[in-house]
Amino acid sequence: MKNKPRKSLILVLAAFLLVALALSGCGSSARDQAGSTPGVSDNTGNKNSRTLEQIKQSGVLKVGIMGTYAPYNFLNDKKEMDGFDADIAKEVAKKMGLKAEFVSQEFSGMIAGLQAGKFDTVISQMTITEDRQKQMDFTEPYITNQVKVIVKQDNNSITKLEDFKGKNIGVGLGTNDEAYLRNEALPKVGNFTIKTYDDVITSLQDLNNGRIDATINNMYALKPIVEKNGFKIKAVGEAVKSDKAGIAVTKGNTELRDALNQALKDLKADGTYKTIFTKWFGEEPPAE
């Protein structure tokens, strides 16, 4: 009878030990899962990516691209990848002695796809930002997109950001343009209403029909949409900001990045870049 309390104590301690071990295991699992969250880089992207030597041995440069963003990248009537980005990718690959192979990918999954080794590069209007530079390496910019104020053709009262005060301004949801309006334009200009859109066409329809007073966007991207739909809109004033797009590679894959930089440099030196730019945008590239 005297041993019962002692045995009970041992059983209780054993139970506590088992619970502690179980909790410890769960904690480790949670950490492991968190570390592998898609789109969050832990600077080990190279374990899934191919080296420059491996790419050269295969003869193919795999390029992540949306294919839904004319005139930068889209499927033409022959169901072939076409556009400014596609031409840049083909010519860059050619300079490296390779052939470009396009892998279609929604933009929201582009970073995760690159880190998983689904493709070697992203050439799909990937704007260079501080957050993205923490997860990927970028080449020098291969295009600078000027973002301007867009209004109806008969609107002469809005010509600059300062004219947004008290107005209804449309912008793409989750875009760099939305972040700019909220974080920079609003504090500078004062109160105006921001209306967000999931797609560009709807925002332009609302602008065309007077439901919003203005938007900001890149006219290169808007041009084919405007021409196709007959929207009566125009870009006004100076550019409110510039977005620089680069070719993205996995973090730490500097040898591939440097080879891509050299290829871009060669394209500009021999006039190929100018030819591509003029083909898609109807004007010569701005002086650097």
Q: Which two tokens stand for residue 212?
A: 């919003």
pTM above 0.85, yes or no: no
As beta bridge partners, residue 216 has 149
pLDDT at 15 over 90: no
| Shared-domain flag, residues 75 and 87 | yes
| Shared-domain flag, residues 55 and 178 | no
Residue 113 lies in a domain: yes
The dihedral of CA 34, 35, 36, 39: what is its sign? Answer: positive
| Shared-domain flag, residues 101 and 89 | yes
The string of pLDDT tens digits covering residues 60-74 is 999 999 998 889 999
Between 13 and 276, name the one with better pLDDT: 276
| CATH, residue 203 | 3.40.190.10
Question: Distance between the two ends of the chain, CA-based, in angstroms?
Answer: 92
User: What total number of domains does the chain contain?
Assistant: 2
- As a whole number of angstroms, the distance between CA 233 and CA 200 comes to 13
CA 178 to chain centre: 14
| Shared-domain flag, residues 108 and 50 | yes
Residue 118 lies in a domain: yes
As beta bridge partners, residue 169 has 194, 214
pLDDT at 126 over 70: yes
| Shared-domain flag, residues 85 and 129 | yes
- As a whole number of angstroms, the distance between CA 113 and CA 109 comes to 6
| Shared-domain flag, residues 237 and 250 | no
Residue 181 lies in a domain: yes
Residue 152 lies in a domain: yes
CA 239 to chain centre: 20
| Shared-domain flag, residues 149 and 64 | no
| Shared-domain flag, residues 72 and 215 | no
Q: What percent of the chain has pLDDT over 70?
A: 84
Domain range enclosing 225: 145-244
| Shared-domain flag, residues 79 and 50 | yes
Residue 158 near residue 164 (C-beta atoms within 8 A) = yes
